[in-house]
């Protein structure tokens, strides 16, 4: 789903405005005038749906609740019998346990789909791997790899994981060490730290684009023919793919 309402929702979550989108597009266009390199930028709410970890955590919660209830089986039977005003049939206890487990698993599964909780239960390695794979996938799908001189970079922002990747094509990576891109990516991550930052998320993105442009201009100055090969605007991607 990538309709207007979805985009509005993602932008709100990223603390970005329509004005920020315009400024980002202008920043990319301006940066590319100084270099033969190409800059693409994309943002996704999450790089993976993490359904495996969410279900695993929900099942674990259900098992814990079952283990806690098990020693109180007699008390539960007496409680059910008291409310029925009759002796509790044998199947009521497993039925009660089953109902409670279904409710607990369902409730926990809904809770862990909240981004802040999702980030807590999913291992760091899994989140990092997901962002790496999703950024590489978009690098290919968006055609960043297919620029005429293999001089494209992708700035990839993943909100749930709070991670940024700057993926450079081999024409660029042969001259610019990945560590330099990683440093710029780390700076952009700090820019999305809304509570402890003096700049807005939009300003942080624009600043990073300008720095990327300056770095590209140093090694890849503009040629007489400098066509615009990639979309200059921020691309909003579906979540969890």
Model confidence pLDDT, tens digit, residues 111-128: 999 888 888 999 999 999
96, 120, 144: which is the final residue of a domain?
A: 120
Asked whether residue 19 is domain-assigned, the answer is yes
The whole-number average pLDDT for the span 85-102 is: 80
What's the domain range around 157?
A: 4-47+123-236
Q: Are residues 157 and 208 in the same domain?
A: yes
How many alpha carbons fall within 13 Å on the CB side of residue 8? 3
Angle at 196 (CA atoms; ends 191, 200), nearest 5 degrees: 40
Please enumerate in sequence order all residues whose Cβ is within 8 A of that of 217, keeping only pairs 6 or more positions apart, or say none: 31, 34, 35, 37
The whole-number average pLDDT for the span 167-174 is: 94
pTM score, whole prediction: 0.86
Please name the residue ranges forming H helices in the chain.
4-13, 18-32, 51-69, 73-84, 92-111, 115-121, 124-141, 170-173, 178-191, 201-219
Determine the Cα–Cα distance for residues 205 and 176; give it in Å rounded to an integer.
Answer: 21
120, 146, 163: which is the final residue of a domain?
A: 120
219 has pLDDT over 70: yes
92 has pLDDT over 90: no
**170: confidence class by pLDDT, cuts 50, 70, 90:** very high
Q: Are residues 67 and 159 in the same domain?
A: no
The SS3 of residue 98 is: helix
Please enumerate in sequence order all residues whose Cβ is within 8 A of that of 46, keeping only pairs 6 or more positions apart, or say none: 115, 118, 158, 159, 160, 161, 239, 240
Asked if residues 155 and 41 have their Cβ atoms less than 8 Å apart, the reply is yes
CATH code: domain of residue 154: 3.10.310.50
Asked whether residue 108 is domain-assigned, the answer is yes
CA atoms 164, 186, 10, 235: torsion sign: negative
| Complete edge-to-edge strand list for the sheet that includes strand 152-158 | 163-168, 152-158, 38-44, 234-236
The structural domain count of the chain equals 2
Backbone angles phi, psi at 189, to 5 degrees: -60, -45
Determine the Cα–Cα distance for residues 232 and 150; give it in Å rounded to an integer.
Answer: 17
Please enumerate in sequence order all residues whose Cβ is within 8 A of that of 92, keeping only pairs 6 or more positions apart, or say none: 77, 80
203 has pLDDT over 90: yes
9 has pLDDT over 70: yes
Cα dihedral angle (223, 150, 45, 231), rounded to 10 degrees? 40
Q: Are residues 28 and 58 in the same domain?
A: no
Backbone angles phi, psi at 142, to 5 degrees: -85, -5
Asked whether residue 97 is domain-assigned, the answer is yes
Asked if residues 73 and 185 have their Cβ atoms less than 8 Å apart, the reply is no
* pLDDT at residue number 3: 78
149 has pLDDT over 90: no
Determine the Cα–Cα distance for residues 203 and 158; give it in Å rounded to an integer.
Answer: 17
């Amino acid at each position: 789903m990538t309709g207007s309402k979805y985009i509005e929702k993602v932008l709100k979550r990223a603390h970005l405005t329509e004005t920020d989108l315009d400024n980002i597009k202008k920043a990319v266009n301006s940066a590319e005038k100084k270099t033969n390199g190409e800059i693409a930028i994309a943002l996704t709410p999450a790089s993976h749906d993490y359904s495996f970890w969410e279900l695993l955590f929900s099942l674990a919660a259900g098992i814990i609740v079952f283990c806690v209830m098990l020693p109180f089986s007699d008390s539960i039977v007496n409680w059910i019998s008291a409310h029925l005003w009759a002796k509790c049939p044998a199947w009521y206890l497993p039925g009660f346990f089953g109902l409670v487990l279904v409710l607990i698993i369902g409730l926990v599964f809904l809770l862990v789909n909240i981004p802040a909780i999702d980030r807590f239960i999913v291992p760091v390695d899994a989140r990092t791997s997901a962002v790496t794979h999703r950024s590489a996938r978009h690098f290919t799908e968006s055609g960043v790899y297919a620029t005429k001189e293999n001089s494209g970079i992708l700035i990839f922002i993943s909100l749930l994981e709070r991670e940024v990747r700057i993926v450079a094509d081999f024409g660029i990576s042969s001259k610019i060490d990945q560590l330099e891109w990683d440093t710029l990516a780390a700076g952009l991550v700090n820019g999305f730290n809304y509570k402890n930052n003096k700049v807005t998320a939009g300003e942080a993105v624009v600043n990073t684009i300008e720095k990327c442009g300056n770095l590209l201009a140093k090694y890849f100055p503009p040629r007489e023919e400098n066509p615009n090969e990639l979309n200059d605007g921020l691309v909003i991607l579906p979540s969890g793919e």
